[in-house]
Structure formats: C-alpha cells, structure tokens
Amino acid sequence: MSLLSKVGANITGEAVKLPNRFRGGFMPMGAVTRKQRANTTSEIMSSIRAHVDSYERGAKNAQETLIAKAKEVGVDVEKEAKKLGVSIFDVAKTKGQKHYYTPEGDPVNLIAISEDLKMRKTICDSNSQEIRTFLKQAGDIDPKHLGLAHDILDLGNIQELLNTNINLQTLLKNGKTVMGDLLSKFPAISRKSPGAIELTETVINNSDTTNAKYFIQQLFGNDLDILGMVSEQMKATKDIVPDIAKQTLSGGYTMDYSKEFNFFKFIADFLRVDAKPENINLLSKILKTVDKFSHKSSPSIDGVEIALGNTKTIKDNMELMPQLLQNAEQSGQNIDLSGFLTKNINLD
C-alpha cells in the first residue's frame, strides 16, 4: 500500500475534532515539558477534517450574526445588499450611516460590527480553504508528521493574553493566514527535510506556546534546500532542545520576543552545513555543568564557536570547566566559556 493510500484510508467517516492540547488549566511560560502527541493517524486526519467543518460553521455564523444584529436596529441587510449591489457586510459602510438605534434607544455602530464580522468570515473562509488544500496533499506527508500539522491548527486557535501574543490567524499579503502559509509549506518540508519536522515537534513539547509559534515561523521561513542539507545537525540539536529552553527561556516575562529570539538563534547556530554534530552532542553536558555551578555569574556561550571548534580541544577543556566556573562564580566574573572551550584562552 502506498503512502497516499495509507493516509487516504484514514480520512473517511465522521469527522471528530480532538481537544486542543494547548488549552486547559494554567499554561506555564518558558521551558515546559509537554507529552508527545499519541493520537493515531486516523484520529488526526478525522480531526483535521473536523476543523474544516468548524471554520465553515464560523463563516456562516458571522453572516447570521450580522443579519440578526442589523435586524435589531431595523435594517434588513440582505434586502439592502441586493438593492445596493454589495455584500451584506458592506451595507452599513456603503450607506454611510455609522450609528443605528435599538427600539430602546441604544446606539449601535453597525459599520464597526459589520467590519468585525466581515474579517471573521474572511479568516474562516481562508482557514477552511487552506485546510482543504492541505488535505488534498496529505498523501505526500509522512503519517508520523501529521501530529505537527495538527499542532499548527491547535496553535492557530490559541491566543495568549499578552503583549507578545502571536496570532497565526493574521492575514498575509498573499491572502493566506499565517497558519495556512505554514500548512502550505508542510508537505514539501515533510518530504525534503523530515528533520525540521522532528526538531519543531521537540521544540513544541519543551517550550511555551509563544515560543512554539515564534520558532515554527522562523524555521519554516528558511530555504528548503538548506534545511535539507543539515539533517544530521538537526538530529543532534533535537536532543539538546530541553537544555537550551531552560537556558534561554527561564526567568520573568520580558514583554518582547528577546527570549524567543535567543532560543531560536542558539539553535540556528547549529543548523549550518559546517557544524559538527559531535560537537553539538557535547552541549548538553556543557549546559548542565553551567546550570550546576553558575548561579550569580553568566558565562557566555557562542553556539557557532562550539559547533565549529576542534572536538578534542573542547573535550579536553571540558574537564577543567567545573573549576573554571566555580572560580568565576566566586569572583563574580562573566567568562567567555565558548572561547575557553575552543581556544583555552587565558581567563585569569
């Protein structure tokens, strides 16, 4: 059975939406530990189909809501739309009357309501079409990767009540939502750079939703050919994501994307063709040693230096690292740790 027929066999029957795994209870910020998605391919595909139905209902609801709201102030927007030759969402704007009044005399800004509901319908229409297109390409996707596709849908329906909220429902200039743009790239990335899918899954399972949204947009925005050339580096980097998350995402809320930027940059430093996977594998021990000995001091680590350095030199200098960090802690010195590990520079 081909990949296409295997996935296709799982998209029939009644569509049932899975719970959004990023909702429910208190959602911690920074580094987190989230369970790997354990749904079957059949459950995931059924739920993705159910999202189409949900968005189509959302578009219909926006239309029905406007008709009802307009009727409350004595306006038949369907009749007026036919008379004016416009959409029901453009009736109030075309007529140029901002305020209407309920029988009780309460003012209603029908233009603002129409614009809000028009945008809601536009986004729902885009979402349903984007997911339909994705489902047609499902046969090109490794079934193991479909969980991440569903995570993108879930993240698209999560809004953090923060200044740093990243809205994946934002419409882009190409007419797609951010969520739809990510889904459109998904089949090619699954086929040509499976390591990018697996790395992103690991990031999502080890960091908060803001970082997850930030990371996936940054990674999926890279050239696909380049992503395909760093599969070994991605595999090595995936194993140290929890350690990187703890180092870069911990601490209080900063009201900006500085932590997310530092997290992505730390990982991006290793995603280059000349980076040595064996060096990346050493980073977990390096970060754990820093975490153990450095509490007041903040040693700097340049990922590129580590990734490109002489492996033997780094290993040899790692033996001296605990004493070095203890001395720095006592003196309050913020040392260049990557410089020491790769060059054994004089830090006295």
- How does pLDDT run across 26-62, given as a tens digit for each residue? 677 899 999 989 999 999 999 999 999 999 999 999 9
Picking from 264, 47, 27, 271, the residue whose alpha carbon sits closest to that of residue 151 is 47
CB 164 within 8 A of CB 249: no
Q: Sign of torsion, CA 24 29 34 37?
A: positive
pTM of the model: 0.89
Average pLDDT of the chain is 91
Q: In a 3-state reduction of DSSP, which class is residue 245?
A: helix
- How does pLDDT run across 112-151, given as a tens digit for each residue? 999 999 999 999 999 999 999 999 999 889 999 999 999 9
pLDDT given at position 164: 92
Would the pLDDT of 9 be above 60? no
pLDDT given at position 332: 87
Picking from 146, 138, 126, 159, the residue whose alpha carbon sits closest to that of residue 27 is 159
316: CB partners within 8 A, 6+ apart: none
- How does pLDDT run across 221-262, given as a tens digit for each residue? 988 888 899 999 999 999 999 999 998 998 888 999 999 999
pLDDT given at position 24: 67
Picking from 141, 181, 150, the residue whose alpha carbon sits closest to that of residue 51 is 150
Q: How confident is the model at residue 77 (pLDDT cuts 50, 70, 90)?
A: very high
